[in-house]
Amino acid sequence: LAKTTQPISMDSYEGQEVNITCSHNNIATNDYITWYQQFPSQGPRFIIQGYKTKVTNEVASLFIPADRKSSTLSLPRVSLSDTAVYYCLVGAYYGGSQGNLIFGKGTKLSVKP
């Protein structure tokens, strides 16, 4: 299972763009990259998933370079409600190695007014 490394914490202000980078040097060919958001006393919420290049949805963008050894979650114009812990995980195809998602420590994002 590919191990991920993220900054423990980040601070930002309302309205700014926040980029959280995750390193996964041992990512396997079949691994996808998935980001989750977790508020205190709640289950993680799926944000975005990608394999390579760039993926964008209504809440975030995910940038993955060609070597896939890292990925960057981009949150545009954050608000106070974006204060949460963000987890980067890598996991295999369902039909592949059946790798389960292993949570690291995540990045605690604090958005200030």
Q: Which of residues 61-90 bind another protein (CB under 8 A)?
A: 87
Interface mask toward another protein for 6-45; x: CB under 8 A: --------------------------x-x-x----xxxxx
DSSP string for residues in 63-92 = EE-TT-SEEEEEESS--GGG-EEEEEEEE-
**Per CB under 8 A, 101 contacts another protein:** yes
| The token pair that represents 101 in the structure block | 């998602």
Q: How far apart are CA 74 and CA 66, in angstroms?
A: 17
Site residues for another protein per CB under 8 A: 32, 34, 36, 41-46, 49, 87, 91-95, 99-106
